[in-house]
Protein backbone atom coordinates (compact mmCIF):
# COMPACT_ATOMS: atom_id res chain seq x y z
CA UNK A 1 0.00 0.00 0.00
CA UNK A 2 2.60 2.47 1.08
CA UNK A 3 4.96 1.46 -1.70
CA UNK A 4 2.25 2.33 -4.23
CA UNK A 5 1.96 5.86 -2.94
CA UNK A 6 5.71 6.25 -3.33
CA UNK A 7 5.73 4.92 -6.87
CA UNK A 8 3.26 7.60 -7.93
CA UNK A 9 5.58 10.31 -6.65
CA UNK A 10 8.52 8.86 -8.49
CA UNK A 11 8.32 10.78 -11.72
CA UNK A 12 11.09 11.24 -14.27
CA UNK A 13 13.09 13.64 -12.13
CA UNK A 14 13.89 11.24 -9.31
CA UNK A 15 17.41 11.98 -8.10
CA UNK A 16 17.86 9.40 -5.42
CA UNK A 17 15.89 6.28 -4.60
CA UNK A 18 16.11 3.12 -2.57
CA UNK A 19 14.61 -0.15 -3.72
CA UNK A 20 13.64 -2.84 -1.23
CA UNK A 21 16.63 -1.83 0.88
CA UNK A 22 17.40 -4.49 3.47
CA UNK A 23 19.98 -4.64 6.21
CA UNK A 24 20.32 -7.44 8.72
CA UNK A 25 23.04 -8.49 11.09
CA UNK A 26 23.88 -12.06 12.03
CA UNK A 27 22.60 -15.23 10.43
CA UNK A 28 20.05 -17.95 11.04
CA UNK A 29 18.25 -17.73 14.35
CA UNK A 30 20.31 -14.85 15.66
CA UNK A 31 19.59 -12.74 12.58
CA UNK A 32 18.45 -9.24 13.45
CA UNK A 33 16.73 -7.43 10.65
CA UNK A 34 17.08 -3.66 10.81
CA UNK A 35 15.73 -2.57 7.43
CA UNK A 36 13.07 -4.79 5.90
CA UNK A 37 12.69 -3.43 2.39
CA UNK A 38 12.72 0.35 2.48
CA UNK A 39 11.50 2.17 -0.60
CA UNK A 40 11.86 5.89 -0.82
CA UNK A 41 12.55 8.44 -3.49
CA UNK A 42 13.87 11.97 -3.49
CA UNK A 43 13.25 14.23 -6.45
CA UNK A 44 15.59 16.98 -7.53
CA UNK A 45 15.07 20.12 -5.47
CA UNK A 46 13.08 18.38 -2.76
CA UNK A 47 13.62 18.59 0.97
CA UNK A 48 12.72 15.16 2.34
CA UNK A 49 12.75 14.34 6.03
CA UNK A 50 12.99 10.76 7.22
CA UNK A 51 11.55 10.41 10.69
CA UNK A 52 11.18 7.32 12.79
CA UNK A 53 11.22 6.05 16.36
CA UNK A 54 14.59 5.49 17.93
CA UNK A 55 16.09 2.19 16.91
CA UNK A 56 14.31 2.22 13.56
CA UNK A 57 17.58 2.16 11.65
CA UNK A 58 17.58 5.77 10.48
CA UNK A 59 21.34 6.05 10.60
CA UNK A 60 21.72 2.63 8.96
CA UNK A 61 19.45 3.80 6.17
CA UNK A 62 21.52 6.93 5.67
CA UNK A 63 24.78 4.97 5.68
CA UNK A 64 23.40 2.72 2.94
CA UNK A 65 22.13 5.64 0.89
CA UNK A 66 25.47 7.42 1.17
CA UNK A 67 27.43 4.34 0.12
CA UNK A 68 29.20 3.99 3.45
CA UNK A 69 27.56 0.64 4.14
CA UNK A 70 26.54 -2.11 1.74
CA UNK A 71 22.94 -3.28 2.25
CA UNK A 72 22.29 -6.99 2.64
CA UNK A 73 19.54 -6.69 0.04
CA UNK A 74 18.05 -4.20 -2.37
CA UNK A 75 19.79 -1.16 -3.73
CA UNK A 76 20.15 2.60 -3.78
CA UNK A 77 20.17 4.41 -7.09
CA UNK A 78 21.59 7.92 -7.34
CA UNK A 79 21.47 9.84 -10.64
CA UNK A 80 20.75 6.61 -12.47
CA UNK A 81 23.70 4.69 -11.02
CA UNK A 82 23.57 2.06 -8.31
CA UNK A 83 25.40 3.23 -5.20
CA UNK A 84 28.28 0.92 -4.25
CA UNK A 85 30.63 3.52 -2.81
CA UNK A 86 30.18 7.14 -1.69
CA UNK A 87 29.07 8.97 -4.85
CA UNK A 88 30.89 12.05 -6.07
CA UNK A 89 27.95 14.45 -6.03
CA UNK A 90 26.78 13.64 -2.54
CA UNK A 91 27.79 15.16 0.79
CA UNK A 92 26.96 14.12 4.32
CA UNK A 93 26.56 16.21 7.47
CA UNK A 94 27.06 13.85 10.38
CA UNK A 95 25.33 13.83 13.72
CA UNK A 96 28.33 14.42 15.92
CA UNK A 97 30.12 17.54 14.71
CA UNK A 98 32.90 17.12 17.27
CA UNK A 99 33.83 13.87 15.56
CA UNK A 100 33.38 14.88 11.94
CA UNK A 101 35.45 18.07 12.00
CA UNK A 102 39.18 17.59 12.24
CA UNK A 103 40.49 19.29 15.40
CA UNK A 104 44.02 19.67 13.96
CA UNK A 105 42.76 21.82 11.09
CA UNK A 106 41.47 25.34 11.23
CA UNK A 107 37.85 25.93 10.23
CA UNK A 108 38.72 27.08 6.70
CA UNK A 109 41.00 24.07 6.13
CA UNK A 110 38.24 21.74 7.32
CA UNK A 111 35.82 23.21 4.80
CA UNK A 112 38.48 23.16 2.08
CA UNK A 113 39.67 19.59 2.62
CA UNK A 114 37.21 17.78 0.29
CA UNK A 115 37.87 20.38 -2.45
CA UNK A 116 41.65 20.00 -2.59
CA UNK A 117 41.80 17.43 -5.33
CA UNK A 118 38.92 18.96 -7.27
CA UNK A 119 39.64 22.66 -7.75
CA UNK A 120 42.54 25.10 -8.06
CA UNK A 121 43.44 27.17 -5.01
CA UNK A 122 41.58 30.35 -5.99
CA UNK A 123 38.33 28.51 -6.65
CA UNK A 124 38.65 26.63 -3.37
CA UNK A 125 39.18 29.82 -1.41
CA UNK A 126 36.21 31.47 -3.09
CA UNK A 127 33.97 28.54 -2.23
CA UNK A 128 35.20 28.28 1.35
CA UNK A 129 34.66 31.97 2.01
CA UNK A 130 31.20 31.93 0.42
CA UNK A 131 30.13 28.85 2.35
CA UNK A 132 31.37 30.19 5.67
CA UNK A 133 29.63 33.49 5.01
CA UNK A 134 26.39 31.63 4.20
CA UNK A 135 26.37 29.94 7.57
CA UNK A 136 27.24 33.17 9.37
CA UNK A 137 30.84 32.29 10.06
CA UNK A 138 32.54 34.77 7.74
CA UNK A 139 35.93 35.74 9.17
CA UNK A 140 36.06 32.75 11.52
CA UNK A 141 38.07 30.56 9.15
CA UNK A 142 41.31 31.00 11.10
CA UNK A 143 39.88 29.47 14.30
CA UNK A 144 40.07 25.84 15.29
CA UNK A 145 36.75 23.97 15.55
CA UNK A 146 37.19 23.41 19.27
CA UNK A 147 37.33 27.16 19.79
CA UNK A 148 33.70 27.38 18.63
CA UNK A 149 30.42 26.49 20.33
CA UNK A 150 28.58 23.28 19.38
CA UNK A 151 26.10 25.08 17.15
CA UNK A 152 28.90 26.94 15.36
CA UNK A 153 30.80 23.70 14.84
CA UNK A 154 27.79 22.12 13.19
CA UNK A 155 27.54 25.20 10.99
CA UNK A 156 31.13 24.56 9.90
CA UNK A 157 30.13 21.00 8.99
CA UNK A 158 27.20 22.38 7.00
CA UNK A 159 29.52 24.89 5.29
CA UNK A 160 31.80 22.01 4.31
CA UNK A 161 28.80 20.35 2.64
CA UNK A 162 27.81 23.59 0.91
CA UNK A 163 31.28 24.36 -0.41
CA UNK A 164 31.35 20.89 -1.93
CA UNK A 165 28.18 21.83 -3.84
CA UNK A 166 26.73 18.33 -4.00
CA UNK A 167 23.59 17.40 -5.93
CA UNK A 168 22.16 16.05 -2.72
CA UNK A 169 23.03 16.86 0.88
CA UNK A 170 22.41 14.09 3.40
CA UNK A 171 21.99 15.10 7.02
CA UNK A 172 21.99 12.57 9.83
CA UNK A 173 20.23 14.02 12.88
CA UNK A 174 22.48 17.05 12.55
CA UNK A 175 20.90 19.03 15.38
CA UNK A 176 20.45 16.24 17.92
CA UNK A 177 23.40 17.43 20.00
CA UNK A 178 22.67 21.17 20.21
CA UNK A 179 20.36 23.04 22.57
CA UNK A 180 16.80 23.96 21.60
CA UNK A 181 17.53 27.63 20.89
CA UNK A 182 20.46 26.82 18.63
CA UNK A 183 18.42 24.13 16.98
CA UNK A 184 15.76 26.60 15.88
CA UNK A 185 18.42 28.90 14.44
CA UNK A 186 20.06 26.04 12.59
CA UNK A 187 16.74 24.84 11.13
CA UNK A 188 16.12 28.24 9.61
CA UNK A 189 19.73 28.40 8.47
CA UNK A 190 19.36 25.09 6.63
CA UNK A 191 16.19 26.27 4.91
CA UNK A 192 17.91 29.48 3.85
CA UNK A 193 21.09 27.94 2.46
CA UNK A 194 19.06 25.25 0.77
CA UNK A 195 17.34 28.00 -1.26
CA UNK A 196 20.58 29.87 -1.74
CA UNK A 197 22.41 26.81 -3.07
CA UNK A 198 19.27 25.31 -4.67
CA UNK A 199 19.99 21.95 -3.11
CA UNK A 200 18.23 18.65 -2.66
CA UNK A 201 18.25 17.55 0.96
CA UNK A 202 17.59 14.22 2.62
CA UNK A 203 17.32 14.94 6.32
CA UNK A 204 17.09 12.24 8.98
CA UNK A 205 15.67 13.17 12.37
CA UNK A 206 13.75 11.77 15.30
CA UNK A 207 12.13 15.16 15.94
CA UNK A 208 8.59 15.32 14.55
CA UNK A 209 8.28 19.12 14.70
CA UNK A 210 11.58 19.55 12.96
CA UNK A 211 10.59 17.11 10.21
CA UNK A 212 7.26 18.79 9.47
CA UNK A 213 8.69 22.28 9.73
CA UNK A 214 11.55 21.64 7.30
CA UNK A 215 10.24 19.18 4.76
CA UNK A 216 8.43 19.13 1.46
CA UNK A 217 7.75 15.51 2.26
CA UNK A 218 8.05 13.45 5.42
CA UNK A 219 8.84 9.75 5.14
CA UNK A 220 7.76 8.02 8.33
CA UNK A 221 9.55 4.81 9.18
CA UNK A 222 8.07 1.96 11.18
CA UNK A 223 9.94 0.42 14.09
CA UNK A 224 12.52 -2.27 13.35
CA UNK A 225 12.37 -4.34 11.20
CA UNK A 226 11.80 -1.11 9.35
CA UNK A 227 9.67 -0.33 6.34
CA UNK A 228 8.22 2.98 5.18
CA UNK A 229 5.03 3.42 7.21
CA UNK A 230 3.82 6.40 5.26
CA UNK A 231 4.98 9.06 2.87
CA UNK A 232 3.35 12.41 3.67
CA UNK A 233 3.43 15.46 1.43
CA UNK A 234 3.85 18.61 3.52
CA UNK A 235 1.68 21.21 1.82
CA UNK A 236 2.68 24.11 4.04
CA UNK A 237 3.50 27.43 2.37
CA UNK A 238 7.08 28.60 1.99
CA UNK A 239 9.02 30.39 3.21
CA UNK A 240 8.48 28.70 6.55
CA UNK A 241 8.47 30.75 9.70
CA UNK A 242 8.97 29.41 13.21
CA UNK A 243 5.91 31.26 14.54
CA UNK A 244 3.55 31.66 11.58
CA UNK A 245 4.05 28.18 10.10
CA UNK A 246 3.73 26.44 13.41
CA UNK A 247 0.51 28.36 14.13
CA UNK A 248 -1.22 26.99 11.03
CA UNK A 249 -3.97 24.39 11.63
CA UNK A 250 -2.50 22.33 8.79
CA UNK A 251 0.83 22.20 10.63
CA UNK A 252 -0.91 20.74 13.68
CA UNK A 253 -2.74 18.18 11.51
CA UNK A 254 0.46 17.00 9.84
CA UNK A 255 2.32 16.93 13.11
CA UNK A 256 -0.43 14.83 14.71
CA UNK A 257 -0.48 12.46 11.77
CA UNK A 258 3.27 11.85 12.00
CA UNK A 259 3.08 11.60 15.77
CA UNK A 260 0.35 8.94 15.74
CA UNK A 261 2.22 6.95 13.06
CA UNK A 262 5.32 6.91 15.21
CA UNK A 263 3.32 5.94 18.30
CA UNK A 264 1.85 3.05 16.28
CA UNK A 265 5.29 2.02 15.12
CA UNK A 266 6.58 2.05 18.67
CA UNK A 267 3.73 -0.11 20.00
CA UNK A 268 4.18 -2.57 17.09
CA UNK A 269 7.86 -2.76 17.87
CA UNK A 270 7.06 -3.52 21.49
CA UNK A 271 4.64 -6.31 20.53
CA UNK A 272 7.29 -7.75 18.25
CA UNK A 273 9.77 -7.80 21.06
CA UNK A 274 7.35 -9.73 23.29
Partner 1 sequence: MKALRLTLLRIWLPILIVAVWWFASSGSTSVYFPPLSEILGAVGSDWLGPYFVQHLLPSIGKFLAGYLIAVVLGVAIGLAIGMNQIARAITDPIVQFLRSLPPPTILPVGILLFGIGPSMNIFVIVFGSVWATLLNTADGVRSVDLQVRDMARSYRLTTLERIRHVVLPSAAPQIFAGMRTSLQIAIILIVVSEMVGATSGIGYYVLKSQQSFKVVDTWAGTIVLGILGYLATLVFLLVEKRVLSWHAGMRANDNVE
Which spans of this chain sit near partner 1 (rule: CB under 8 A)?
A: 63, 66-68, 86, 88, 90-92, 94-96, 99-100, 102-105, 113-114, 116-117, 144, 146-147, 160, 164
**Rounded to whole angstroms, how far apart are CA atoms 254 and 237?**
13
**Rounded to whole angstroms, how far apart are CA atoms 228 and 224?**
11
3 state SS for 31-66: CEEEEEEEEEEEECCCEEEEECCCCCCHHHHHHHHC
Q: For the CA atoms of the chain, what is the radius of gyration? A: 19
Q: Nearest distance from residue 210's CB to partner 1, in Å?
A: 21
Question: Are 49 and 217 a contacting pair, CB within 8 Å?
Answer: yes
Q: Minimal CA–CA distance to 226: which of 73, 22, 12?
A: 22
Nearer to partner 1, 106 or 268 (CB): 106
Nearer to partner 1, 6 or 90 (CB): 90
Q: Nearest distance from residue 253's CB to partner 1, in Å?
A: 36
CA atoms within 13 A on the CB side of 100: 22
Q: Nearest distance from residue 88's CB to partner 1, in Å?
A: 7
Nearer to partner 1, 146 or 243 (CB): 146
Q: Nearest distance from residue 110's CB to partner 1, in Å?
A: 10
In Å, how far are 58, 159, 244 from 217, measured between CA atoms?
16, 24, 19
The SS3 call for residue 193 is: helix
In Å, how far are 45, 69, 173, 203 from 95, measured between CA atoms?
23, 16, 5, 11
Nearer to partner 1, 171 or 228 (CB): 171
Nearer to partner 1, 146 or 181 (CB): 146
Nearer to partner 1, 176 or 236 (CB): 176
Q: Nearest distance from residue 87's CB to partner 1, in Å?
A: 9
**Rounded to whole angstroms, how far apart are CA atoms 241 and 251?**
12
Q: Nearest distance from residue 164's CB to partner 1, in Å?
A: 7
Q: How far is CA 68 from the centre of its chain?
A: 14
Q: Nearest distance from residue 86's CB to partner 1, in Å?
A: 5
Nearer to partner 1, 115 or 232 (CB): 115
Nearer to partner 1, 160 or 194 (CB): 160
**Rounded to whole angstroms, how far apart are CA atoms 185 and 32?**
38
Q: Nearest distance from residue 10's CB to partner 1, in Å?
A: 25
Amino acid sequence: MSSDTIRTTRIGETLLSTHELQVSYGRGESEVRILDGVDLAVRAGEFVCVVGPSGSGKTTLLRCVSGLQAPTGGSTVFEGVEVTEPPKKMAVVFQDYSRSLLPWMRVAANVELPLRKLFPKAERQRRVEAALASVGLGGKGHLYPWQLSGGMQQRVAIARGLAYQPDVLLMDEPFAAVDAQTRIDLEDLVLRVRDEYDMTVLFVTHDIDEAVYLADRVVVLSGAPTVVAEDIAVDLPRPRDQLATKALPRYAELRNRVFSLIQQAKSHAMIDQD
